């Protein structure tokens, strides 16, 4: 099935570490397609946070890191700060759909 599954919510105290998971299948993440992560604050457009599974664009703090293994990917945030409170989305390409796919999003509460 061509979906990317994220946990709906995650929470952590300031300074802690949290991980957000993105579970896919053999037609998307497991097929070797890159995973990208986006951060979205209420009422604003999403912003690219991680691309190519684990690459941070210029300006993104190194507290954010991405990884990928098999049919899943993860976003880790260390040293949580109150300004990290946002929605996070994973995204990849799916060969069955012949198009891109987003996870359902994870709301981070700090």
Interface ranges with another protein (CB under 8 A): 34, 36, 38, 40, 45-48, 51-52, 57, 89, 91, 97-105
Least Cα distance to 65 among 53, 79, 75 occurs for 75
Cα–Cα dist 15/43, whole Å: 26
Nearer of residues 69 and 100 to another protein, judged by Cβ:
100
Nearer of residues 51 and 71 to another protein, judged by Cβ:
51
Supply the minimum distance, in Å, between the C-beta of residue 94 and another protein.
Answer: 10
Supply the minimum distance, in Å, between the C-beta of residue 89 and another protein.
Answer: 6
Nearer of residues 13 and 99 to another protein, judged by Cβ:
99
Least Cα distance to 28 among 54, 55, 2 occurs for 2
Supply the minimum distance, in Å, between the C-beta of residue 51 and another protein.
Answer: 4
Name the DSSP class of 56.
P
* CA trace torsion 49, 54, 59, 60 (10° rounding): 50
Cα–Cα dist 94/58, whole Å: 27
Nearer of residues 12 and 46 to another protein, judged by Cβ:
46
Supply the minimum distance, in Å, between the C-beta of residue 38 and another protein.
Answer: 7
């Amino acid at each position: 099935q061509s979906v990317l599954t994220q946990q709906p919510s995650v929470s952590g105290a300031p300074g802690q570490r949290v991980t957000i998971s993105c579970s896919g299948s053999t037609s998307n993440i497991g097929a070797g397609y890159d995973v990208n992560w986006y951060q979205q604050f209420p009422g604003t457009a999403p912003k690219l946070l991680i691309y190519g599974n684990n690459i941070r664009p210029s300006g993104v703090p190194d507290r954010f890191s991405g990884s990928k293994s098999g049919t899943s990917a993860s976003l880790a945030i260390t040293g949580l700060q109150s300004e990290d409170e946002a929605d996070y989305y994973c995204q990849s390409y799916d060969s069955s759909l012949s198009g891109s796919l987003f996870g359902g999003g994870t709301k981070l509460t700090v």
